[in-house]
Amino acid sequence: MDVKDYFQSYEDYFWEWTTDEDIPDVSRYNENNLISIPNVGAIAYRPYVMEILKELKDQGFPPFGSLLLVLYAIQDGYLNLDGVFFYLNRQKNVSPEIALDIEHTIKFLENLSQLGSSFKKGQNKIILLRTIFGDCHNKVSAINSGLILKIFDTKPHIIAEAANKKDLTPVAISRDIKTLALLQHKFPTRESIINAMKGFIDIPELEDEVVKEETNVETDKDFIQELIEEPKTFQIGSLIKRIWSGLKIPMRHLSPGEQPIGGISDMTNKSDFNRMLLSEFANEDEVFMNRVANNEALYIQREIPPEENIFERIILIDTSIKNWGTPKVLAFASAIAVIKHPKANSECKVFALGQTNIPISLDKVDEVVENLNQVSPVLEVSYALEKFFNEEYTEKDLEVFFITHQENLVNPNLQKVIHENRDRLKFLVTTSSDGELNFYKHHKGTRKHIQKIVLPLQELWVNPPQRRQKRENNSSKNWKRTDVPMNYPILFPTPVNKIATFLYEGEFYILSNKKQLLRTYLSDNYYNKNYYDHYKIHRGCEVLFEDISVKPKGQFALAKNRQQQFILCQYHPDKRVISKLNLNTKEYSELYLAGYEISYHYKLIYFDKEFYLHHKYISHNYRINIDGNISLEKAFDGDGNIDKNTPKVEAELYKLENNGIKILNNFSNIGINAEKNLVISNNELNKLHDDSLTLYRNRHQIKIFANQNKNRFTFSDGSEVITDSRGMLTFKSSNKNIPEFYIPSTEYGFLALATHTEFGGSEYYLPQSTLLKMKKMEDMYAECLKRFIDQIWEYGA
């Protein structure tokens, strides 16, 4: 697909290229710079759309019309969706399939428009678009997407050709509408879209221990074992392999080219040599070679063209009253047995049928636990089943499994729906309270009983696995990561890698590469100013905000508004976008600078309770407000106060240069070595000097190991070490007379040791305002760490 085809507009369609003469374009091609809906309103300016496409380039572009519909639906402010739907509904007479797709598209756009405003602003808008269009239908490849942008950058006037409208064709309509209709099936509710966005952005800490977990591919065998080990899914997991052993349902569909025909029809003169008829080898050598060379030799099976399986497999689980309890356990076990069968080669969609049809997923243990709670108070599900076939899934190429209770088959309403849709309802599975499963197949209009499986429930459920019982008694139940506090009684070590540093009202702040806002200090406890200026006595830092939604690109400035809320301003010179993020409320606003004559060399700064885009050699600056939605206006620095202040701020921030400490955040092999010193990831906590504690490379054999569970390490006596990748260790002894204490995890430097009331060691970790009682490190070591180690050592001995 070339540039013109991708941006092509059509007669009597919902969008068109127009020109806004008041808005200049950075590409210097100012015509056709606006995309609008006739008699409804604007969708977006062309530069904005191109920026969106740049964000989607790596995963490939969705159809342009699909993107425009989504961009309009997620706009802030007034939306005239009825006007958009008017243009879409006009196309329903093209074909019944397109009419149905339009209905699904309208539902999808309505769901998008009803999302919270926070999901449709700033970076969240990009995440939303990347989430829904990540694997969409009719997508342009990533390579072609890059070429489209590259050609447009060199020839922006090519849009003029695309702006000449063509006659609207069913292919063009289907390309845009089908994409969104399928997305409605994939994201049927607003909650499903939000959950998918959360799954897209929830990225764990980049620790080796987490990376190892992510790189391990979970097999179906592991999944079934997890179901058995989880108390809430043990009954389901213990049935699946027994169902597998007797299941006779075909798990793999042959493509049309693989279907055996038999007789002369299965012979061919083109195939693999291992399929050649044995009779060919009875010919003399010359005759044999001539037959092979001239494609006259006969083979036992014809060539198979590459064809995909045309069937879509769907499993419907009855959640009505009669299918509660044991029958429901059997229903879920049967569904998972079909989905996770070792020979299954196609994906399955699963729906829970009750008063309505609810799409569910059974790919993870947590999802199985959650969806087991799906119950419906209805007596039977004929209405939901009929709605599924007549309104939601009208395609003929379906292979549907319907799992229900045996007694429900006598219901006349349900019988009627099953009979009317027997061509698509291929398999019927019935459950019972005594563990009996019956499998039926519809073939040529008749129902045939395939098999009966009787599951010995008492035998399978009487003895839960020992490993599961141990897991229940484990203090780290369900193998979840142990929560850590935002801050500790002592300061964190300052990280080496930073996105930006700020000076605001005399205090220093750091935006770390882990998307945290940190506050740090320069010690004011000094007597020799020359010594202080030379050595810059630093302190550690405290965390103010975590999980800040920001990309580590561009320039940053920090300030507080009138409500004393932190405002983070970000300027992208390349993208010509400036934005503000309220770190307290998460409110976000941005401004595209296409209409402003701002050169690349302007710098974002904070001065006198305002943000500025400042240029040292240009008389006028641009003032950016701190309160309210973002706005920009020219400002003149007649007295040169900004020019005078900027070097002073830079000089102060220079004091934070090179003050980061290497943080130990890859935790493994925690134990006690032969010298009775604690070992953290092959580093020994050692008191080499009288009043210091350091981490050095361990050179002694580890005698006692702690068992690891995520970030919690537990010794045999019950004592624990909880790690924090930001650079902190928490020690909890099984001896309640030993207080909980904390030690920073930094390599090759003097450390500190503190409880909730006492502190010893390097003052680098001492907060600026604290009630901690100061003690010698030697005393703190003896009262806390030594007693902690002795408790474990004596128990192990």
User: What domain range includes position 56?
Assistant: 3-201
- Indicate if 388 and 404 belong to the same structural domain: yes
Q: At what angle do helices 96-113 and 190-201 cross, to 10 degrees?
A: 70
Q: Which residues pair with 753 in a beta bridge?
A: 760
- Indicate if 528 and 629 belong to the same structural domain: yes
Out of 461, 478, 510, a domain closes at 461
- Of 46-50, 402-406, 428-432, 490-494, the one with minimum mean pLDDT is 46-50
Q: How many domains does the chain have?
A: 5
Look at residue 477 and tell me if it is in a domain.
no
Q: Exposed/middle/buried for 261, CB within 10 Å: 0-12, 13-18, 19+? A: exposed
pLDDT band at 571 (very low <50, low <70, confident <90, very high): very high
DSSP, collapsed to helix, strand or coil, labels residue 430 as strand
Residue 560: per-residue pLDDT? 94
- Indicate if 225 and 271 belong to the same structural domain: no
Do 404 and 315 meet the contact criterion of CB atoms below 8 Å apart? Answer: no
Cα-to-chain-centroid distance, residue 260: 44
Out of 276, 293, 308, a domain closes at 308
Burial 217-236 (b: 16+ CB within 10 A, else e): eeeeeebbebbbbbeebbbb
Residue 311: per-residue pLDDT? 62
| Strand positions, DSSP E, 255-379 | 312-318, 348-353, 357-360
The helix or strand, by DSSP H or E, that contains position 146, with its residue range, turns out to be helix 142-154
- Of 64-73, 408-417, 523-532, the one with minimum mean pLDDT is 523-532
- Residue 188 pLDDT more than 60? yes
- Indicate if 297 and 384 belong to the same structural domain: no
- The length of the chain, given as a count of residues: 797
pLDDT band at 727 (very low <50, low <70, confident <90, very high): very high
Q: DSSP assignment of 397-417, as one string?
A: SEEEEEEEEGGGGG-HHHHHH
- Indicate if 87 and 70 belong to the same structural domain: yes
Q: Output the pTM of the full model.
A: 0.44
pLDDT band at 265 (very low <50, low <70, confident <90, very high): low
Residue 471: per-residue pLDDT? 42
- Indicate if 356 and 407 belong to the same structural domain: yes
Residue 196: per-residue pLDDT? 84
Look at residue 457 and tell me if it is in a domain.
yes
- Indicate if 725 and 592 belong to the same structural domain: no
Look at residue 214 and tell me if it is in a domain.
no
- Indicate if 16 and 152 belong to the same structural domain: yes
Closest CA to 514 of 486, 536, 488, 482: 486
- Indicate if 616 and 689 belong to the same structural domain: no
Q: Exposed/middle/buried for 402, CB within 10 Å: 0-12, 13-18, 19+? A: buried
CATH number for position 387: 3.40.50
- Of 189-193, 457-461, 645-649, the one with minimum mean pLDDT is 457-461
Residue 670: per-residue pLDDT? 92
Q: Give the pairing of strands 720-724 and 357-360.
A: unpaired
- Residue 9 pLDDT more than 50? yes
Residue 469: per-residue pLDDT? 40
Mean pLDDT over 412-438 rounds to 88
- Residue 364 pLDDT more than 80? yes
Q: At what angle do helices 64-73 and 81-89 cross, to 10 degrees?
A: 150
Look at residue 666 and tell me if it is in a domain.
no
pLDDT tens for each residue of 310-349 = 567 889 999 888 888 889 999 999 899 888 887 776 678 8
Closest CA to 759 of 734, 784, 778, 776: 776
- Indicate if 445 and 322 belong to the same structural domain: yes
Distance CA 470, CA 342 (A): 29
User: What is the sign of the dihedral through the CA atoms of 776, 782, 785 and 788?
Assistant: negative
pLDDT tens for each residue of 666-677 = 888 899 999 999
Higher pLDDT: 260 or 786? It is 786
Distance CA 26, CA 576 (A): 10
Token pair in block for residue 333 = 């076990």
- Residue 395 pLDDT more than 80? no
pLDDT tens for each residue of 735-792 = 989 999 999 999 767 899 999 999 999 888 999 888 999 999 999 999 999 999 999 9
pLDDT tens for each residue of 441-466 = 887 778 888 888 888 888 788 665 54
- Residue 249 pLDDT more than 80? no
Q: Please state, for a pLDDT cut of 70, what percent of the chain lies above it.
A: 87
- Residue 262 pLDDT more than 80? no
Look at residue 467 and tell me if it is in a domain.
no
pLDDT tens for each residue of 472-487 = 444 434 457 888 999 9
Residue 218: per-residue pLDDT? 38
Residue 321: per-residue pLDDT? 84
Mean pLDDT over 678-698 rounds to 84
Do 29 and 188 meet the contact criterion of CB atoms below 8 Å apart? Answer: no
Chain mean pLDDT for the chain: 82
Cα distances (Å, whole numbers) of residue 221 to 143, 218, 319, 472: 37, 8, 27, 22
Contacts of 690 (CB under 8 A, 6+ apart): 778
Higher pLDDT: 360 or 219? It is 360
Look at residue 723 and tell me if it is in a domain.
yes
Cα distances (Å, whole numbers) of residue 475 to 365, 482, 706, 742: 20, 10, 14, 20
- Indicate if 790 and 690 belong to the same structural domain: yes
Out of 608, 626, 654, a domain closes at 654
Distance CA 280, CA 298 (A): 7
Token pair in block for residue 626 = 């701190």
Look at residue 606 and tell me if it is in a domain.
yes
Do 706 and 729 meet the contact criterion of CB atoms below 8 Å apart? Answer: no
Q: Exposed/middle/buried for 641, CB within 10 Å: 0-12, 13-18, 19+? A: exposed
DSSP summary character for residue 786: I
- Indicate if 120 and 190 belong to the same structural domain: yes
Residue 277: per-residue pLDDT? 83
Look at residue 473 and tell me if it is in a domain.
no
Whose structure tokens read 């300061």?
A: 491
